[in-house]
Structure 1
Amino acid sequence: MPDPRARRGIRYPWAALLTAAAAAVLAGAASVTAIGEWVADAPQRILALLGFRPDPLTGLVHPPHATTVRLVLASADGDALDRAIGDFLQERKAPAPSSGRKVIAVDGKTLRGTRTANRPATALIAAMTHSGEVLAQRQIDGKSNEIPAFVPLLNGIDLTDALITADALHTQHDHAAYLHERGAHCLAVVKRNHPGLHERIRRHPWREIRLDHAERARAHHRNEIRRLKTAASAHIDYPHARQALQVVRWRRDLGTGKLTIERIYLVTSLPPGAADGSELAAWIRGHWRIENQLDHVRDRTFHADASHIRTRHLPRVMAGPRNLAIGVHRQDGHTNIAAALRRTARDHLRPLTTLGLA
């Protein structure tokens, strides 16, 4: 991480300040004020492990003021911070089984609390494994959308034999060609924003195609049936596409009795036989769960949407430590992130142990 501060007057090491902020967020700090309070309450041993230097006269380690923490985070390079966090999570994660495939979801998020009368809300795009770790994140240009950020987002990730899932916005010919060049596969939703492709897939003789997977579920006060069919095709007007998919979802509300039927179409570059119906269905559901695994946790647990931080790079930078906390706790087997944060907050040493500093 580059240090943007002028050399004159530097009292605290740059790495120590960023590490302290990350440790505080791991312990549940949801704001810059809370980060400053966590650092101020840290014992001498913890401050030394974080990298703060003792006073040469007294031998005591003085914690930085909350204002110092705020200024440091506001001046940090958000993209560089996210790259460092993504590299850390990839190195920390245990190797996946040789039979498993890396599955990465690409999705965008708008920080609604950052909107002002003169400036649009800060928008981010993230690449996240289906198990819940954010591997990369970038800020979206305020005058553009997620599409131009797709390639720069994935450039720093090893995509060899990975499967990238994305919503209809990223069902772009250039994206499919890029993933093929990187040795990756795609699984993308097709909607009416691509009318020709959507109509061609919709007109497949789906009634005559055998069922590949079906399942029933009951959640959120409704019964749901999901059915998946796949059709191998060499004539899909999408680069390197090998199969078209249809998902039909029946949902019945248990309170009103209302029945809703939804048909969703997708394309994938995976050849027939590379994955069975249950795997494809799990990957499709896994992409839809990204809102629960990342966006919902950031909004409800860290109150990201309620935050009105707007100073310089702070809205962008604060998303990085939150992703780190969510990713690390998920890697450690915690499914309830709020409970994991409370547990970590009960001992100042626990965040450092989690980060490998103690």
Structure 2
Amino acid sequence: MCLVRFLAGLTDPRDRRGRRFPLTALVAAAAAGVLAGARPLAAIAEWTADAPPWALRALGFTVDPFTRSVAVPHATTVMRLLGRLDGDAFDNVICAFLQARAHSRQSGESRRWRAVAVDGKQLRGSRAGGGKAVWLLAAMDHAGTVIAQRQIDAKSNETPAFIPLLDGLPLENTVVTADAAHTQHANGQWLRNHGAHYIAVVKGNHPGLLKLPWHDIGLDHKDRTRGRGRLEVRHLKTVAFRHLDYPGARQALRVMRWRMDLTSKKITIERLYFVTSLPPGAATGEQIAGWIRGHWKIENQLHHVRDTTFAEDASTTRTGSLPR
């Protein structure tokens, strides 16, 4: 699976008379430099300058017919190009590449359901004086593949970006998980209209669920895990309703979690409530519990990796599309 083929679909923002280097080669070299450990734009340019000729040719740079050498760009060239690229178009290209790559690996697998987590991330270093930092909303399937990303308007929040983020994606047999900020009637109705199901977090906006006789409802699933210095026990209960005040909701869920710190022996208890459009019997208690817990993979496998491995929050770049 070749990233360069997908990058060929990007629109070049440069004037035709000033294009010395191919767009795909510049962007592919930036990606390769970052994967090799380069962080600042100057370091990406240095990596490109030091790359062997065969690697530069593979990335798409051309060979001078007279000198037989491969010319490489200056750091300013890379910076100006990345700052002018259409962020939405670039995200669409990268997500299409990641999905195709994941599909080629899973071509022999057949799954009835696909779980997709939606969550936002702030690029802390992009905050200008008196301004707001860049905020991105991403959708990632629970297998770890990012399938969509959008930048949130500086004068808005995550909620209005939920539907535009998922619009155009194949959502049949998809279960969407998100935090309480996205438990909006319009979002639930839109997902059902497009063939998707949801597991929506419920807080004080549905007090009736909190007053149900949960102690009389049978246990659907329980699990026990130990790691990172703590012991966790989780119980899931589900109950079906004829009518819930949320579009397409068929079941109410409660997860009760006991967590013990193995060092201090302190125990904390947490109760979480959800509604889901999945009808009874469509998924097992183990599957539903796995999707609820798996939602936080977007924090561990995407946001955490971008901050710790790629030092995203440490970047103070603020120009154009560069932070994104």
Normalised-by-shorter TM-score class: over 0.9
* 1:159 paired residue among 157, 163, 171: 171
- Does residue 202 of structure 2 align to residue 186 of structure 1? no
- Does residue 75 of structure 2 align to residue 71 of structure 1? no
Instruction: Tell me if the contact between 2:250 and 2:279 (Cα under 8 Å) persists in the aligned partners.
Output: yes
1:45-91 deviation per Cα after TM superposition (whole angstroms, max 9, x unaligned): 11111111122321211111122111111111111000001111112
State the partner residue of 1:243: 251
Higher relative contact order (CA 8 A, sep 6+): 1
Which aligned segments of 4 or more residues in structure 1 are displaced greater than 4 angstroms? none
Distance 1:29 1:234 in 2: 56
Distance 1:249 1:289 in 2: 18
Q: How does 1:277-288 map to 2 (within 5 A)?
A: 277-288=285-296
* 1:32 paired residue among 33, 41, 52: 41
State the partner residue of 1:145: 157
State the partner residue of 2:58: 49
| Runs (5+) with no aligned partner, structure 1 | 317-358
- Does residue 278 of structure 2 align to residue 270 of structure 1? yes
- Does residue 81 of structure 2 align to residue 83 of structure 1? no
State the partner residue of 2:228: 220
Aligned residues: 312
RMSD after superposition:
1.3
Question: Cα 1:289–1:99, aligned 2, differ >3 Å: closer, same or farther?
Answer: closer
State the partner residue of 2:136: 124
Q: How does 1:193-342 map to 2 (within 5 A)?
A: 194=205, 197=206, 199-316=207-324
The 3-state SS of whatever aligns with 1:228 is: strand
Distance 2:234 2:43 in 1: 44
The 3-state SS of whatever aligns with 1:2 is: coil
The 3-state SS of whatever aligns with 1:54 is: coil
State the partner residue of 1:171: 183
Distance 1:247 1:234 in 2: 21
Mean Cα displacement is larger for which, 234-243 or 53-62?
53-62
| Runs (5+) with no aligned partner, structure 2 | 1-9
Instruction: Tell me if the contact between 1:234 and 1:241 (Cα under 8 Å) persists in the aligned partners.
Output: no
Give the TM-score of the pair, scaled to structure 2.
0.93
State the partner residue of 2:3: none
- Does residue 14 of structure 2 align to residue 5 of structure 1? yes
The 3-state SS of whatever aligns with 2:117 is: strand
Query: How much does 1:201 deviate?
Result: 1.2
Give the TM-score of the pair, scaled to structure 1.
0.84
The 3-state SS of whatever aligns with 2:154 is: coil
Distance 1:315 1:18 in 2: 15
Mean Cα displacement is larger for which, 7-16 or 164-173?
7-16
